[in-house]
């Protein structure tokens, strides 16, 4: 697992092709990023399934409650089959765009 911190977000990238290995490592690091905009990059994961993404549901909701964004990058899933509470996009650029849009929404709500 690789962490890349910027001013706007923390990107966590899988360095393994097995989701179970990544998720085990991620759950250890998760508390460190729950107050930050977080991008989970799963492009290296093979055969990712919707049930795997659903494991992030509680974490995504906690980020939302904390006023931060949580975005997953994966190309192999049908977005229509995923819960609305989890943002899943196919590229890093789109993940950053989601964070920007959610930050604007939060700013507008706080006016």
Q: Which residue has the tokens 């399934």?
A: 49
pLDDT of residue 43: 94
CA–CA–CA angle 2, 37, 3 (5° rounding): 10
In the chain, what are the domain boundaries?
2-109
Query: Is the distance from CB of 102 to CB of 69 less than 8 angstroms?
Result: yes
Can you list the residues of the chain whose pLDDT is less than 50?
none
CATH topology of domain 2-109: Transcription Regulator spoIIAA (3.30.750)
pLDDT of residue 8: 94
- Sheet strand arrangement including 2-5: 2-5, 10-13, 38-41, 70-73, 87-89
pTM score over 0.75: yes
């Amino acid at each position: 697992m690789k962490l890349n911190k910027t001013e706007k977000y923390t990107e966590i990238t899988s360095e393994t092709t097995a989701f179970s290995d990544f998720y085990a490592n991620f759950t250890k690091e998760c508390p460190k990023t729950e107050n930050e905009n977080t991008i989970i990059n799963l492009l290296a994961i093979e055969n990712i399934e919707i049930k795997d993404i659903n494991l992030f549901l509680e974490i995504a909701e906690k980020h939302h409650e904390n006023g931060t964004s949580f975005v997953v990058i994966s190309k192999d899933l049908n977005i229509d089959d995923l819960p609305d509470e989890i943002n899943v996009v196919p590229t890093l650029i789109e993940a950053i765009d989601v964070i920007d849009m959610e930050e604007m929404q939060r700013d507008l709500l706080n006016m």
